[in-house]
Structure 1
Amino acid sequence: MSRKVLITGGTGLIGTRLAELLIDGGYEVALLSRTPGNNRYPSFRWEPLAGTIDEAAVPYADYIINLAGSSVSDGKWTRERKREILSSRLAGTQLIAQELRKGNHHVRAFVSASAIGIYGDQGTRVLTEETSPDPDDFLADVCQQWEQAAEYVEQDGIRTAIVRIGIVLSPEGGALVPLARTVKLMAGAPLGSGKQYMSWIHLDDLCRLFIQALEDEQWKGVYNAVAPNPVTNQEFTETLAEVLHRPLVLPKVPEFGLKLMMGEMSEIVLASQRVSAEKVLSKGFQFEYPTLKLALKSFYGEDK
């Protein structure tokens, strides 16, 4: 049986690692890319905003993993930037749905990214996949529209799993890099009140979760992709300092300072999201890095 996976957004932090693990698992991988010649894997050209896609792309695939979307943490959220954050997710997902509707394919499953940003700022409340999205939050609105676009694929009878991704930990990119840099420079401090919950996941666990969602026919609908032990921002900062053998010398970074520096984007670090991993655990998924200390030690432990 052929095992060909087509990945959108395959050159980003998650896609790069996911492609490696898929190849290790005996899959063939191809990317949908706006610059097909520049990639390590066979690539098909697409331009989501222009609505164009190589007609051979979708017929190639047994599985599609949809990660495409411009980073929410690059630069302030100007009106233009917000439009790009939304359109880069919607256009790609809608284009795939349109191609699948044509019917000349053998796609067995569609696994699409979303984010725990859909819940907005919820304090200490434990958030499950059934928790309603925050109606007044920009990222929540983006995620909701993104998920609705993915649900069109499900309506066409293709098994669809939507993965709400937490804060991805990797020394290669994402939130951990600036946080670790400030702690290493002895400038680490909790952000805002420090009481806000951070629901995180080790990059390798996230990629393994995507692969399980792709392989296991029981996986349908929405899943939180977070480790089973969320921590407060203060605990996160303290654990990171401990693993890096650095003291925490500064008081908290005040909320108004973060808002001044980051604008509305500060909600990424100030919003509290205590997200449950129960559903993926009940599906038999096993985390290699269930606790923050284990995850951070895998990057910054003694022998690294």
Structure 2
Amino acid sequence: MTGVSSTGKFRIGISACLIGENVRYNAGHKSSSLCHELFDEDFEWVSVCPEVAIGLGIPREPIRLVGDPNHPQVVGTRDAAKDFSAPLREYGSYMAEHLDDICGYVFMQKSPSCGLERVKVYQSAGRPALKEGRGAFAEAFTAKRPDLPVEEEGRLHDPVLRENFISRVYAYIDWQQLLGQGLSRGALIAFHARYKYLLMANNPQAYREIGKMLGTLKRDDDANEVGPRYFSQLMQALRRCASRGTHCNVLQHLSGYLRDALDVDDRQELQQIIEQYHSGSVPLVVPLTLFKHHLRNHPDPYLMQQAYLHPHPSKLGLRNAL
């Protein structure tokens, strides 16, 4: 269950080198100014270096992936007889179970222990395989925690991927808080109602499929059986990033709720701004700001609760670059 730390902040896991700890093979770090900027104010770091945790020293011989890209070994670069595959995978499974109060995880990219994707897998001749692999620790960790939002630090420099990851982190927090209050049929339906348009923007097909799943709910006991499946499908669906087209589709749906409340000029202006966003002339924050202005003047309880309109703190400015 995701909890609040003694500092009043939610906790997020991270590769220790990314927050400036000197744990790399060369006794250095890869401190990420972006991670500090994004998370320091609202989250508490839970730093992990699996290589140090399994007993490798600082400094140490570098390691790399070798063999089958689908299930590579992790060995020393100078002494391939040193096989760290099992310890790293066991530690990944262990930490996945014990870090039960985090709401996300940022991994170090291209690492043979922590990389989520695109990690080189070397063959006997010393050349990388055509297919790339995943770090042993990260692979084991994510297999145990498939619903947890995870991302690589390098990918967070892409504004679309960055906004998507933070949105998933706050959706995860929201769900854990719901579980803490108790899951019921009404609570599950209300949760889905809040995430309806965020889901529509990210994954229209999953939006339709997940809605059908909730149609099977008849009583509160059903929520305990359907709830975990619902949330797993929701988190997988939200991994897909919204496009300008799907954002515009959602904006048009939301605007429809205010059609009768707005005069002709206001409706035309809103449509023009949405079209400007669709063409790439303005960022997403522009039509959203205008829509929220109209929503404040014409409050609608259903719209005001939508996670799509506030998936993360506005102070982060994540939609300014979309």
- How would you bin the TM-score normalised by the shorter chain? under 0.3
Tell me the TM-score normalised to structure 2 length.
Answer: 0.24
Quick one: higher RCO (CA 8 Å, sep 6+), 1 or 2? 1
* Larger Rg over CA atoms: 2
**Going by fraction, where is strand more abundant, 1 or 2?**
1
